[in-house]
Amino acid sequence: MKEMIKGSFNADGVAWDYEAWFAQDNEGTPLAAIRHRRQGTTDAWTPTTPITLHLRHAYTLEQLAFAHFGSVLDMSVEEGDFVKTR
């Protein structure tokens, strides 16, 4: 069973929903996956972004989501912008 969180965040005045979860690739390597879409729409989710983890329990899903949107996608976010719903 995969561990998953769902939540929302604001970036530059736009509200987004996101989902993040831990999983494994076909070789058993631990990874996290994150996807997002504009909140309140039926837009398709962005393609899932896999993140290879060298230390499975070194990060929380919240930390990975914040790093993904703040650094990888260069969105203007702060940790306080994130609201976990599940």
Cα torsion 29, 21, 45, 70 to 10°: value is: -90
Q: What is the pLDDT of residues 7-27, one digit of tens each?
A: 888 877 888 888 888 888 888
Burial (Cβ within 10 Å: 0-12, 13-18, ≥19) of residue 9: buried
For residue 54, pLDDT beyond 80: no
pTM beyond 0.75: the answer is: no
CA 35/CA 4 separation, integer angstroms: 12
What was the pLDDT predicted at 23? Answer: 81
